[in-house]
Amino acid sequence: MIDQKTAMPRRTWRNRNGNGSPFRGRWARLPRSARWASLLGVALLAYLLPYVGSIPGIGPQIVTEGIDWPSALFNISYFVLLALGLNVVVGYAGLLDLGYVGFFAVGAYSVALFTSPDSILNTGWSWLAAVPVAIALTLVSGVILGWPTLRLRGDYLAIVTLGFAEIIRNTANGAEFMRGDRGFGGIPHPPGSLGDNSPIFGVRDATPYYWLGLTIIVVVIIGVRNLEHSRVGRSWLAIREDQEAAEMMGVRTVKYKLWAFAIGAAIGGFGGVMFAGEQGFLNSATFQLLFSILVLAGVVMGGSGNIPGAILGGALVSYVPDRLRGVEIAGTDAFQFRMLIFGFMIIVVMVFRPQGLLPSRRRAAELADRAKEATA
Amino acid sequence: MNSRTADGRQLLEVDNVTLRFGGLVALDEVNFAMRTGEILGLIGPNGAGKTTCFNVMTGMYRPTAGTVRFQGRPLIGRKRHEITRSGIARTFQNVRLFPEMTALENVMVGADIRDRTSVLGALFRVPRYWREERASRAKAMEMMEFVGIADRAGEVSRNLPYGVQRRLEIARALATDPALLCLDEPAAGFNPSEKAALLQLIRAIRDRGVTVLLIEHDMRLVMEVTDHIVVLEFGKKIAEGSPAEVREDPRVIAAYLGVPTDAA
Amino acid sequence: MHFHSLFQNFGELTVTGLAQGAIYALFALGYTMVYGVLRLINFAHSEVFMVGTFAAVLTWGLFGLDQDSATPSVGAVLLLLLAGFLAAALAAGIMALIVEMVAYRPLRRRNAPPLVFLITAIGASTVISEAVGIGTHRNVSSVPPLIRPSTVVQIGNTSVTNIQILIVGLALVMMVVLDLFIGKTRLGRGVRAVAQDPDSAALMGVNKNRVISLVFLTGGLMAGIAAVMYLLKIGGTRYDAGFHLGIKAFTAAVLGGIGNLRGALLGGLALGLAENYGSGLFGTQWRDVVAFVLLVVILLFRPTGILGESMGRARA
């Protein structure tokens, strides 16, 4: 049965927000080529972000002070990646996952286990060789978590997923082969070298890692969008909106929920793989629960169920605290206030914009176009 | 049309179905059969077990005893989505659309039922994806035109007026290509002209070759549109027959005594 | 696996498990009551608890006590305990009310979906713990040795300390009081009515906002009492003391059946015991793993917890 208490009010508050912003309407009316061109432009600008500091005037306002700007951008890139993955699980399929960091950890640890000289496996693979294995393992871990928990209702699922992340963290802490807080060192960086034989992915400059992250993000966006505009995406939304009615319409809910978990997990695993490749070291202290909670806050703050929203939310969650590092407020470093300010930001955004900064308008205008095409 | 006009083949048999919730007997050895191509009315006072009967047929509840056979095969114990795939579709008493999805998408969820595009196929947009996506959309549009709401295809379903939502639900159910369509009080909250239009729609659905099971409070509508009527009271079948027979049946009159015949 | 150590220390593990479980149970009440009435996870409840611990520490500080003080006389200890419990309960209760008013009420007025409540609560939780963290320079605040742990009862090789008896006894008393309050009083009836069906309750003249405030306040009071128990047991607190314990308390609430008061008690005790037996069997580093695996296993067989949910239907 759908929960009347929660399902009914939703309609009213959404209604009040009317039928989308003027921007959205204009965007939908643009010809297809113009839309593609603008998206390409946005992507290009994103690749140029490492140099934003050189823009006179606003540039220095944007770049971070307490942490070098390319590193901050790299942080943003894996937070955005995680937000995109979590958006599949929470935003599309409506499965509340509080332990998403668990998949990030599975991805990162898989790489560490197969590549690090500290690992008992002693395989010493390259980073690239470990990537497919790590992604496969996270995918499987998503299914393993999903399988027993799919029958649970929303809030129960939340605590079980949270427990799952804690189990992974505690295993990393407690199991001998996971090396606890001693961690794994010497994790190789991604391959490739420049003309003068210096590696592309070095230790001094995080810019290439950011570009790598951005490239993965672009690929993930395309993939997620493809799924969204297919029977898979429709099945997810139907499950989110009314699981029982979806079943009655022939949707195989178990299958699609499992896929949502697996795909979300795999994307989170990608984040972990990137993280391990950049840091070169990881231990059990890396994967705090707070991390998943931040990513979830990002997704909802940005606009759950909407790709641009997830991107914006993920970026904010990483950028705002990093930007506050090294800034002086009333004579003290704002670094120690960063989470406080961030918490206030969450409250203010959610109270004044409960639908998120970039809410999903269920593709209304776009689909209206297509409906016309179909009848013509 | 008061004789059983259908072609005579049995489509669905409800055989001695009993359902208990704790001490409450919701359905008590209910028996009836439906023939391909007919419109069967399931009526009875409030709380008689009509919707419960529906829910047993569509797999939402599992009966305590008895069987339901559809096209000769037992339904009990099969998963809901399998029951839908085998050809039974339904609407809900209190409209249950996917409110955040557009009208078109709602119907496409139903139309997707026979698609075989895999998740990977959708991810990489293989040719089958394009083919089936086009087919689903065309099918969904056809169904919306059939129920007369094609002009609302792009609107988010929660923003649609109530009457359109009701029709949308019917279009969504029809998009699954059912052999049997179960309508749960489709006329609830309708004014007389809307009811008249609905009556036309139900007949048109039957003319497409879809057998219709109708739960309805509005006696006039039921008497006018159905070929055969089953009357439930307190979970028991108390009468069955053509509309004319049922109208004259003393037990039915007693059951409805004091209840105005067009109470809706 | 250390079966030997499990059997040898079985009594000891049981007693410490019960004491830990009693704290979980009182802490869990806040989650369970709010969930019962509003169907939402009050993520900020962990910080309500944390504020309670600091209120007690501050109060004892006002009496000129810190961790280096000598143990005061019996009369003074009773007075100080009372003051500590009162201060913690009040502070936590007020904190819970503030959270409700600042973070939840505006959203309820806008009929926001449940997920938004959760995120706002996360924001509120961050603000409270960070504010306290900054105020205390993220240091541990220790409490004066009000009660020196001493063995009161000895059965075989199992010793039960005065602190453990105080914790378990007080928790049981509080649970009974709350059970009676919800079950027998007019205010309690209002709470049950709203838990069962908010709309009809409103039609019957129950003031929903008052009931919700009452639920937050009660949950806060109980968390405050749990906070002092925690201090007596652990000896100190920190700005992030609530987070991890809160997750455990929430687990306890779900384990017993969220929305169900007696479920919170049962879940708390079950979790405390399971954790202690588990750490006896596998080693202390596996304590949390055992707790969460237990949760998953129980939910697999009873998807709504041991006693099932509902504050309205069951009498309590």
DSSP helix/strand/coil, C240: coil
DSSP state of A262: H
Q: Select from B257, B214, B213, B212 the least CA-distant residue to B233.
A: B257
Distance CA A207, CA C251 (A): 42
DSSP helix/strand/coil, A332: strand
Q: Select from C147, C173, C15 the least CA-distant residue to C81.
A: C147
DSSP helix/strand/coil, B70: strand
pTM of the model: 0.88
When the pLDDT of each residue in chain A is averaged and rounded to a whole number, the result is: 85
Q: Which residues of C touch A153 (CB under 8 A)?
A: 303-304
When the pLDDT of each residue in chain B is averaged and rounded to a whole number, the result is: 89
User: Which subunits have 3 or more CB–CB pairs within 8 Å of chain C?
Assistant: A
Does residue B96 belong to the interface with chain A, where contact is any CB pair within 8 Å?
yes
DSSP helix/strand/coil, C151: strand
Bigger pLDDT: A9 vs B42: B42
Query: Quick one: closest CA in C to A148, which residue?
Result: C300
Strands B73-74 vs B65-70: parallel, antiparallel or unpaired: antiparallel
Residue-range domain boundaries for chain C: 3-143+157-301
Taking each helix axis from N to C end, the angle separating C287-301 and C241-256, rounded to the nearest 10 degrees, works out to 30
What is the residue type of B200?
A: Q
Does residue A239 belong to the interface with chain B, where contact is any CB pair within 8 Å?
no
Residues 56-95 of A with CB under 8 A from C: 90
Does an interface of 3+ CB pairs under 8 Å exist between B and A? yes
Buried b vs exposed e over C252-263: b needs ≥16 C-beta within 10 Å?
A: bbbbbbbbbbbb
Buried b vs exposed e over A154-190: b needs ≥16 C-beta within 10 Å?
A: ebbbbbbbbbbbbbbbbbbbbeeebbeeebbeebbbb
Q: How far is CA B16 from CA A80, B24, B27, B64, B69, in A?
A: 58, 17, 9, 10, 11
Give the CA radius of gyration of chain A.
Answer: 21
Which uninterrupted H or E stretch holds B33? strand B24-35
Q: Evaluate if residue B163 carries a pLDDT over 70.
A: yes
Local confidence pLDDT in tens for the 376 residues of chain A: 334 333 333 333 333 334 445 666 677 778 888 888 999 999 999 999 999 888 888 888 888 888 899 999 999 999 999 999 999 999 999 998 988 999 999 999 999 999 999 988 888 899 999 999 999 999 999 998 888 887 787 778 888 888 888 888 888 888 888 888 899 998 999 988 887 878 888 878 899 999 999 999 999 999 999 999 999 999 999 999 999 999 999 999 999 999 999 999 999 999 999 999 999 999 988 888 888 888 999 999 998 899 999 999 999 999 998 988 878 777 777 778 888 988 998 899 888 888 888 887 654 444 444 445 555 4
How close A200 gets to chain C, by Cα (Å)?
39
Contact between C119 and A300 using a beta-carbon 8 Å cutoff:
yes
| pLDDT-based confidence at residue B2 (cuts at 50, 70, 90) | very low
Confirm if B51 and B103 have CB atoms less than 8 A apart.
no
What is the residue type of A37?
A: A
Contact between B105 and A374 using a beta-carbon 8 Å cutoff:
no
Q: Evaluate if residue C300 carries a pLDDT over 50.
A: yes
| pLDDT tens digits, one per residue of B218-230 | 888 999 999 999 9
Distance CA B153, CA C66 (A): 71
DSSP state of A273: H
Distance CA C118, CA C121 (A): 5
- Cβ atoms within 10 Å, residue B135: 14
Taking each helix axis from N to C end, the angle separating A307-324 and A289-302, rounded to the nearest 10 degrees, works out to 120
| pLDDT tens digits, one per residue of C230-241 | 999 999 999 999
Q: Evaluate if residue C154 carries a pLDDT over 90.
A: no
Distance CA A89, CA A258 (A): 10
Mutating which of A362, A369, A370, A372 best tests the B interface, going by the most B Cβ atoms within 10 A? A362
Distance CA A197, CA A174 (A): 41
| pLDDT tens digits, one per residue of B46-97 | 888 888 998 888 888 889 999 999 998 898 888 889 999 999 999 998 999 9
Distance CA A350, CA A300 (A): 9
Q: Select from A261, A223, A221, A265 the least CA-distant residue to A239.
A: A261
* Residue A26: burial class (beta carbons within 10 Å; 0-12, 13-18, 19+): exposed
Does residue B90 belong to the interface with chain A, where contact is any CB pair within 8 Å?
yes
Contact between B98 and A245 using a beta-carbon 8 Å cutoff:
yes
Confirm if A277 and A201 have CB atoms less than 8 A apart.
yes
Q: How far is CA C118 from CA A293, C45, C112, C194, C269, in A?
A: 10, 11, 11, 20, 26
Task: Provide the CATH number for the domain formed by C3-143+157-301 in this structure.
Answer: 1.10.3470
Query: Quick one: closest CA in B to A360, which residue?
Result: B100
Confirm if B131 and B99 have CB atoms less than 8 A apart.
no
Q: Which residues of C touch A293 (CB under 8 A)?
A: 122
How would you classify residue A231: left for phi > 0, otherwise alpha for psi between -120 and 50, otherwise beta?
alpha
Buried b vs exposed e over C94-124: b needs ≥16 C-beta within 10 Å?
A: bbbbbbbebbbebbbebbbbbbbbbbbbbbb
Distance CA C296, CA A148 (A): 8
Query: φ, ψ for residue C135 (rounded to 5)?
Result: -65, -35
Confirm if A295 and A145 have CB atoms less than 8 A apart.
no
Distance CA A349, CA A326 (A): 24
B115, two tokens: 């698609």
DSSP helix/strand/coil, B20: strand
Distance CA C192, CA C197 (A): 9
pLDDT of residue C95: 97
Query: φ, ψ for residue C155 (rounded to 5)?
Result: -120, 115
Please name the member of C124, C254, C303 whose beta carbon is closest to the beta carbon of A159: C254
Contact between C198 and A90 using a beta-carbon 8 Å cutoff:
no
pLDDT of residue A13: 34
Q: Which residues of C touch A3 (CB under 8 A)?
A: 39
Distance CA C107, CA A9 (A): 11
| pLDDT-based confidence at residue B104 (cuts at 50, 70, 90) | very high
Does residue A289 belong to the interface with chain C, where contact is any CB pair within 8 Å?
yes
Number of A/B CB contacts below 8 angstroms equals: 138
Q: Evaluate if residue C266 carries a pLDDT over 50.
A: yes
Query: φ, ψ for residue C183 (rounded to 5)?
Result: -80, -30
pLDDT of residue B1: 41
How close A151 gets to chain C, by Cα (Å)?
8
| pLDDT-based confidence at residue B111 (cuts at 50, 70, 90) | very high
Taking each helix axis from N to C end, the angle separating A253-279 and A231-241, rounded to the nearest 10 degrees, works out to 110
Sign of the alpha-carbon torsion through C142, C147, C150, C152: negative
Beta bridge partners, B180, equal: B88, B211
Strands (E), A130-190: none
Query: φ, ψ for residue C143 (rounded to 5)?
Result: -105, 155
Please name the member of A230, A237, A263 whose beta carbon is closest to the beta carbon of B100: A237
Contact between B141 and A375 using a beta-carbon 8 Å cutoff:
yes
Q: In what order do the strands lie in the sheet with B236-241?
A: B88-90, B180-184, B211-215, B39-43, B228-233, B236-241
Measure CA of the first residue to CA of the last residue in chain C; give whole Å. Answer: 40
CA B20 from centroid of its chain's CA atoms:
23
Does residue A254 belong to the interface with chain C, where contact is any CB pair within 8 Å?
no
* Residue C168: burial class (beta carbons within 10 Å; 0-12, 13-18, 19+): buried
Confirm if B160 and B152 have CB atoms less than 8 A apart.
yes
| pLDDT tens digits, one per residue of C7-55 | 888 888 999 999 999 999 999 999 999 998 888 889 899 999 999 999 9
Question: Could you give the ipTM of this predicted complex?
Answer: 0.90
Query: Quick one: closest CA in C to A91, which residue?
Result: C115
pLDDT of residue B257: 61
Please name the residues in contact with A183: beta carbons below 8 A apart, sequence gap of 6 or more: A118, A281, A282, A283, A284, A286
Query: Quick one: closest CA in A to C138, which residue?
Result: A336
A174, two tokens: 């407690």
pLDDT of residue B198: 95
C310, two tokens: 């509902």
Confirm if A318 and A332 have CB atoms less than 8 A apart.
no
| pLDDT tens digits, one per residue of C281-292 | 888 888 889 988
Distance CA B242, CA B221 (A): 14
pLDDT of residue A2: 39
